[in-house]
Amino acid sequence: MKPLSANQAYKGVKYKTSKYKEYDMELSYKLPPSIDLPDSELYEIIFEFGLSSKNADGDNCIKQTQDIISRKYGFNDKKIRRWVVDAIDVKKGEEYVKFAINKLER
């Protein structure tokens, strides 16, 4: 069975909310100015999300965070072919995002 993409799952155009725009600005500002991006055709990205809501799905945090990171560091996120995601329970006000990008050997 062919996997269903997010683009195929929804009708119409998706509009960025004001929350997304705020997140984009804050994350872009807080990210290091540059990173040592491995020279590679394919990448894996490792995320750790500190989430205070017990109802939060870690996978819901991936796409927008990945888009902001790839834009900030100038690479196409289609080169990411492996995702490792940890969702850590934290207290309200202690939420965070951590990530690492590694060369993917196939």
What would the DSSP string read from start to end of 35-89?
Answer: ------SSEEEEEEEEE--TT--GGGGHHHHHHHHHHHHT--GGGEEEEEEEEEE
State the pTM of this model: 0.89
Tokens of 68: 């902001």
- pLDDT for 15 equals 87
**pLDDT the model gives residue 69:** 98
Mind listing the pLDDT tens digit of every residue in the chain (106 residues)? 987 887 788 887 888 999 999 999 999 999 999 999 999 999 999 999 999 998 888 899 999 999 999 999 999 999 999 999 999 999 999 999 999 999 998 8
The answer to whether 63 and 42 have CB atoms below 8 angstroms apart is no
